[in-house]
Chains A and B, each alone.
Chain A
Amino acid sequence: MDRSFRTQFNFNTISAFIFIVLGIFLYVIIPSQIDKPLIQLAVGQFNLSPELFPQIIAICMVVLGFWFLYKSFSIDQVNELKNLDKEAITNVIVTLVMMAIYVPLMVNLGFVVGSAIMILSMSTYFGNRNYIFGALISIFLPMLVFVTFRRVLLVELPPFPIDIYPLTNWSLI
């Protein structure tokens, strides 16, 4: 491959291709993804079809995608995702995994217990070695948030002890 072309073909070019494909895909799926009205009210009156606005958006995406494709060869930007070092990638992945585990924990064990486990494990991973202080913070602060939301804002967070949530919400996870 020609060197100058290689240096110009960059992440923006790939993004532009993705936008073009996404725009075409959107345009194609519009008829199957928009319900048809069961009855037509106000016959003879000009109305905005439910398909028109999505079609305009899909066409705009394709047109802008081509403009972006043309511009991408001359845009001087660094792909910061590619430049992430090993530590950063590990930390982000570990956090995402912890978040994924936190969701069922919070729903099934309750907000306070689930959050305490998450805070303690995450703070330990990110360098805390004072476990007693860590444990106290991990329990006290979610309790404070729980009480504030329940008593002041009058909204519900998953309660503790295990309530009806596992029975009602397992299928949703």
Chain B
Amino acid sequence: MFESFIEGIGLALRWDTMIYISGGLFLGMFVGALPGFTTLMAMAILLPISFFLDPLLGIPFLIGVYKGGIYGGSIPAILISMPGTGAAVATTFDGPSLTKKGQGRKALEMALFSSVSGDLSSDIITIALIGPIAAVALLLGPPELAAILLLALIVISATSSGVFVKGLLMLVVGLFFGMIGQDPIGALSRFSMGIPQIEAGIPLLPMLIGVFALPEIFTNIEKKASSLIKAEDLKVSGARLTWTEFKSCIRTIARSTVIGTSIGMIPGVGQVVAAFMGYAAAKSASTHPETFGEGELEGVAAAEAANNAVNGPTLVPLLTLGIPGDNLTVILVGAFIAQGMRPGPQLMEEQGSLVFAILVAMALANILFLGIGYLCIPFFARVVTIRKSFLLPLTLVFAFAGSWVFRAQPFDLAVLVFFGAFGYIAKKLHFDVTPMAMGFILGPTLEYSFGQSITLSNGELFGYMLFERPITAVILTLTPIVTFLMWRRSNRLRKQFGTEG
């Protein structure tokens, strides 16, 4: 594994990789700074770009969008109390007050430095952990993999926003969509309803863009109002952040990094909860908690370090077990699959150096993150003034172009619109589409592992699992317990912090 890591460093140090990461960071920050335009939508729309690039360009590009998007949301949150993304809601507690005091520049710089610190530290932890976890994952056979996939899918449904049973139903719907096409064992045609275009299955790319990007566009067009923000409200003014001020927040940043890293490894929790927990922990540990909410730099640092520290660790379950922890990593799975790299235990064994190269590029991206963020703060601050009347049709054009290039079939555009409408209706009726997308992606692997387990057991599945595969039996026994605990925990966090998902 160590040799793969060393090889990975060599592979990652490419100037074109750095250029694509920079492009991803820039686009991510741009979209993140637009209220109503989420990082998820940016990743879904830009996913097709990664399909046609070298894996060491396409995947780091998307990771750049991911990182940049999470940070970009803090800019309007600080300046005009309008979070660009959900992850920046906790930043609105102190950011706008600092702007009112004439310390907007300080707050933006603190958000940037703490985001980069949190992100970089969590990336290093991710690189250190992924090798040993992958080594353990390699010992797992088909029955264990099937049991882990089942556990992960149920846990993700339990922790998705809304009611548990609705999450489970969406998971089942996703598993059904995943069955359309061919069965993974005998390659027999299933549920294609006589439509030749879905004989090989529902196309992944239009489906992902449809469920994740189009509902956001539909939500944005509900009101015609264009930008109501005045350009003068968005001036980045005041003194710069000093070293002493940053130093005084290092302990807070470290605490938030630990919180964000731990949350990132748990499927289905995400940046929003991490930011709130980081903020709450900083406030309770402070000697002057009364200043939190009144314009406290430490408050900005706590929230921003925590939400960015989630980014790296979400890749641990993805790369070692093939389980995406949230909707953003579902999109990354799409990118990996398009590159012929199916995330899971075998990936680290077969293409370990490439995986480490992607992770090293992810860590190096933080240096670019710092540079681009620092230089472009005034530009991103003004992004909010761009009219929605242009942004929305442009986003649609990108969604259609992205869906077209995959197979150059008009049918795929119909798939895009179908899943867009489906996602929008689901959103309005409080059904989370994340379990559906996970079921769609992981369903064939689950069925394949389940089929292999049946063959291995010679028809005696129960006895085989109990006596020959005790780990599988333990995982399956623990599934309801873990699900209940995760469901209770996510409900408590949601009630405590008033967040959905």
Interface positions of A (Cβ within 8 A of B): 11-12, 15, 19, 26, 29, 33-37, 45-48, 50, 53-54, 57, 60-61, 64-65, 67-68, 71, 75, 77, 79-81, 84, 87-88, 91-92, 95-96, 99-100, 102-103, 106-107, 111, 115, 118-119, 122-124, 126-128, 134, 137, 141-142, 145, 149, 153-158, 169, 172-173
Contacts and interface: CB of A to CB of B under 8 A. Distances in A.
A91 B221 contact: yes
Nearest to A145: B401
A107 B457 contact: no
B134 to A, nearest CB: 28
Q: What's the dominant secondary structure at chain B's contact region?
A: helix
Contacts of A15: 429, 431
Contacts of B190: 33-35, 50, 54
A106 B185 contact: no
A158 B417 CA distance: 18
Interface residues of B, number: 68
Interface stretch (B172-180, B275-283, B305-313): B172-180
A116 to B, nearest CB: 9
B450 A156 contact: no
Contact of B218 (A48, A95, A123): A95
B340 interface: no
Contacts of A156: 405, 408
Interface in B377-430: 387-390, 392-394, 396-398, 400-401, 404-405, 408-411, 413-414, 417, 421, 424-425, 427-430
Contact of B397 (A50, A80, A100, A145): A145
Most interface-central of B49, B221, B421 (chain A CB within 10 A): B221
Contact of A87 (B224, B226, B409): B224
19 contacts: A12-B166, A12-B429, A29-B191, A36-B188, A46-B457, A50-B190, A57-B179, A100-B417, A102-B396, A102-B400, A103-B410, A119-B394, A126-B388, A128-B389, A128-B390, A149-B401, A154-B52, A156-B405, A173-B410
Contacts of B451: 47-48, 53
B232 interface: no
A20 B429 CA distance: 17
A142 B394 CA distance: 8
B53 interface: yes
